[in-house]
Amino acid sequence: MKILALLAVALLAAAQQTPPKRPGYKDTPPIPEQKWLVHDQDRPYPRQITPGATPGAAPSDAIVLFDGKNLDAFQSRKGAGGWKVENGYAEVVPKAGAIFTKEAFGDMQLHVEWASPAKVTSGDQDRGNSGIEIMGRYEIQVLDSWDNPTYADGQAGSIYGQWAPLVNAVRKPGEWQTYDIIFEAPKFEGDKLIKNPYVTVIHNGVLLHHRQKIVAPVAHRAVRPFAAHPAELPLQLQDHGHTVRYRNIWVRRLRGYDQP
């Protein structure tokens, strides 16, 4: 009897040490091209994050680059603080030059809001021109494209000099607009490009590019070859001589699936 009692205690202790069984299965077929079974019990859970409280607000795992207060996350070749910050936005100071992040980024999700000047004084590329220069060399065009004829691969939301946006989703001059951008950095082996960059662009909630292949670094009236560069580089905002405004800029580094 005593032995049985001891055995019962030992079994109970062992049961208490066994971690609770996770929901899922181990008797299901493998998912094609994955290492997991269908509904695999052992598959890692995704990280829990807190989404922004309102559409466009930064989620908990975002790196906030500009929240309306200061441009401390940025620098310029002409010294820090080259652009004006007031009323919760940053404004290009013409000839101050581009500003670029102190931190470098590769694969990322980027949210940025911008407004072209409310007062229209010119046209074509000389109107509300700025740009989201990813890695300092792949430009998503910022332009006042409201009733403003220009070449298609240079209008707002174009991958400048390469791809016109699927639609013109621009708002009127002076109105705030959103870009949500998902970018995959290129890969190089030595000097050789082995994977092009790809980009998805959503403008004011409307799809402009769906994982589009970027075929060259940005250029004006030219096609430039790729030049090998690091896996991460600063994000740059262009000074094209126009007082374009920016606000609510945040970025998330992208990670692969199954990385808790």
Kindly list the residues in this chain that would bind Mg ion in the complex (CB under 5 A): 129, 131, 238, 240
* 179 within 8 A of 201, measured Cβ to Cβ: yes
Closest-by-Cβ residue to Mg ion is 131
CB of 219 to Mg ion, least distance (A): 12
DSSP E strands in 53-204: the ranges are: 63-66, 74-76, 84-86, 89-91, 99-105, 108-115, 130-134, 138-142, 177-184, 187-189, 192-195, 198-203
Long-range contacts of 74-82 (CB under 8 A, 24+ apart): 74/99, 74/100, 74/101, 74/102, 74/237, 75/99, 75/100, 75/101, 75/102, 76/100, 82/239
Which amino acid does the sequence have at 188? F
CB of 240 to Mg ion, least distance (A): 5
Q: Looking at beta carbons only, is 76 or 129 nearer to Mg ion?
A: 129
CB of 98 to Mg ion, least distance (A): 10
* 154 within 8 A of 161, measured Cβ to Cβ: yes
Six token digits for residue 97: 């030059």
Contacts of 35 (CB under 8 A, 6+ apart): none
Six token digits for residue 240: 């094209």
CB of 193 to Mg ion, least distance (A): 24
Beta bridge partners of 192: 189
Q: Looking at beta carbons only, is 212 or 238 nearer to Mg ion?
A: 238
* 115 within 8 A of 174, measured Cβ to Cβ: yes
Q: Looking at beta carbons only, is 94 or 230 nearer to Mg ion?
A: 94
Q: Looking at beta carbons only, is 129 or 145 nearer to Mg ion?
A: 129
Q: Looking at beta carbons only, is 124 or 258 nearer to Mg ion?
A: 124
CB of 143 to Mg ion, least distance (A): 6
Q: Looking at beta carbons only, is 98 or 233 nearer to Mg ion?
A: 98
CB of 148 to Mg ion, least distance (A): 13
